[in-house]
């Protein structure tokens, strides 16, 4: 029996729906369940063919457990080695290399020293920073946000130098990026599953969290749809993420990639809506089953190949013989 495990935290709707969806298909030799883990002997197999990771970014114990599971033959969605090394600033640089439009972005040093760091550790750091050059490059208005974070925590909208320095003084020991604001006329969030399936959803990040998905504004621009789909796939294939969300701010027909470091994306029924929820549950269930049924060995960890060599093209996945949930009408 091949087991598919779901490792999760506070969320309720998606994990149980995913397990129920897989088990409802009553496939021979495949069963889904919530992961159960205690003390982990080194190099011990996890017992799971596939694990869907929804929480290890918050708990180092889970992250180390998943790395051990991957090394002993479990497919992890998403790769915990790469996810541990990734950050938003690297994402922006990679987008630029791929030719995906991205706002002008600068990485900034910590405002306060991290714990146990003394000024002697900063002898290579320029001081004072050339703020004029930074501001001339990025230009206001802009967003000041952590280089490695999510959930809109510690994000500041700044319209001038004075607002920037007021916000920067509040960033504690976080490493931040300053990114030009895109004065968008449309905004989209895309689920990307298996580096092959894309669901494009109208979205408004200015609304309260539970009201950001827009269900009454269909996307009709076929050229824009193709651009967004192409860029979303390019980013997720380059990063190696099998389950991710990619956000685009569209200005005058140009989709700028804003946020695509979401390898445990929000998939709550009450946030994304029933039609989107059904699509995501179905797509991830089929992905898990494909990986559980795969006869090929796990892919090599490919950091250097991704960042220094030719960017890989994902092969079209072998489809499982499962019924598809229709794509939501947008």
User: In this predicted structure, what is the pLDDT of residue 328?
Assistant: 61
Cα–Cα dist 274/213, whole Å: 11
Closest by alpha carbon to 240, among 194, 187, 182, 288? 194
Model's pTM, two decimal places?
0.88
pLDDT, tens only, 41-93: 999 999 999 999 999 999 999 999 999 999 999 999 999 998 888 999 999 99
- Strands of the 197-202 sheet, one edge to the other: 197-202, 186-193, 243-251, 254-259
pLDDT, tens only, 129-173: 999 999 999 999 999 999 887 667 889 999 999 999 999 999 999
* 254 strand-pairing partners: 251
pLDDT, tens only, 167-224: 999 999 999 999 999 999 999 999 999 999 999 999 999 888 888 999 887 788 999 9
Q: How confident is the model at residue 329 (pLDDT cuts 50, 70, 90)?
A: very low
Cα–Cα dist 311/305, whole Å: 7
Average pLDDT over residues 250-275: 95
Cα–Cα dist 230/200, whole Å: 12
pLDDT for 308 beyond 70: no
State CA 266 to chain mean position distance: 10
pLDDT for 309 beyond 60: no
Residue 49 per-residue DSSP state: S
Can you tell me whether residue 135 is helix, strand or coil?
helix
With beta carbons less than 8 A apart as the criterion, state whether 265 and 245 touch.
yes
CA angle 313, 298, 245 (to 5 degrees): 55
Structure tokens at 309: 């060599």
With beta carbons less than 8 A apart as the criterion, state whether 80 and 63 touch.
yes
pLDDT for 325 beyond 60: no
Residue 181 per-residue DSSP state: P
Closest by alpha carbon to 89, among 326, 243, 297, 259? 259
CA angle 265, 82, 33 (to 5 degrees): 55
With beta carbons less than 8 A apart as the criterion, state whether 187 and 203 touch.
yes
User: In this predicted structure, what is the pLDDT of residue 8?
Assistant: 97
At residue 106, what are phi and psi to the nearest 5 degrees?
-130, 135
Q: How confident is the model at residue 319 (pLDDT cuts 50, 70, 90)?
A: very low
- What value does the mean pLDDT of the chain take? 89
User: In this predicted structure, what is the pLDDT of residue 199?
Assistant: 97
pLDDT for 2 beyond 80: yes
Pick the CATH number of 104-180 from 3.40.50.720, 3.40.50.300, 3.30.1490.20, 3.60.15.10: 3.30.1490.20
Q: Domain coordinates of the chain in residue numbers? A: 104-180
Closest by alpha carbon to 300, among 47, 63, 71? 71
The number of CA neighbours under 13 Å toward the Cβ of 109 is 15
pLDDT for 226 beyond 80: yes
pLDDT for 320 beyond 70: no
For the residues of 233-293, what is the DSSP string, one character each? HHHHHHHT-SEEEEEEEEETTEEEEEE---SS----HHHH-HHHHHHHHHHHHHHHHHHHH
Cα–Cα dist 194/237, whole Å: 9
Closest by alpha carbon to 178, among 156, 204, 148, 207? 156
């Amino acid at each position: 029996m091949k087991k598919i495990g779901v490792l999760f935290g506070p969320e309720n709707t998606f994990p149980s729906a995913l397990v129920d969806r897989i088990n409802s298909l009553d496939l021979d030799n495949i069963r889904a369940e919530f992961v159960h883990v205690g003390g982990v002997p080194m190099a011990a197999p996890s017992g799971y063919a596939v694990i869907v990771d929804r929480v290890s970014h918050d708990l180092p114990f889970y992250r180390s457990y998943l790395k051990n599971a991957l090394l002993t033959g479990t497919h992890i969605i998403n790769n915990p080695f790469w996810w541990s090394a990734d950050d938003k600033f690297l994402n922006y640089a990679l987008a630029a290399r791929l030719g995906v439009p991205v706002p002008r972005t600068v990485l900034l040093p910590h405002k306060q020293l991290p714990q146990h760091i003394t000024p002697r550790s900063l002898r290579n750091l320029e001081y004072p920073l050339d703020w004029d050059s930074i501001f001339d490059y990025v230009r206001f208005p802009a967003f000041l946000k952590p280089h490695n974070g999510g959930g809109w925590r510690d994000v500041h909208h700044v319209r001038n130098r004075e607002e920037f320095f007021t916000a920067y003084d509040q960033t504690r020991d976080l490493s931040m990026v300053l990114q030009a604001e895109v004065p968008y006329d449309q905004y989209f969030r895309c689920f990307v599953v298996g580096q092959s399936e894309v669901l494009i959803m109208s979205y408004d990040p200015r609304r309260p969290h539970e009201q950001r998905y827009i269900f009454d504004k269909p996307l009709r621009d076929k050229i824009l749809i193709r651009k967004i789909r192409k860029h979303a796939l390019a980013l997720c294939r380059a990063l190696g993420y099998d389950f991710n969300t990619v956000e685009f701010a569209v200005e005058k027909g140009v989709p700028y990639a804003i946020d695509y470091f979401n390898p445990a994306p929000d998939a709550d029924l009450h946030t994304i809506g029933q039609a989107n929820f059904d699509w995501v549950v179905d797509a991830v269930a089929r992905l898990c089953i494909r990986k559980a049924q795969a006869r090929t060995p796990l892919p090599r960890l490919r950091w250097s190949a991704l960042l220094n060599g030719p960017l890989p093209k994902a092969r079209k996945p072998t489809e499982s013989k499962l019924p598809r949930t229709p794509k939501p009408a947008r």
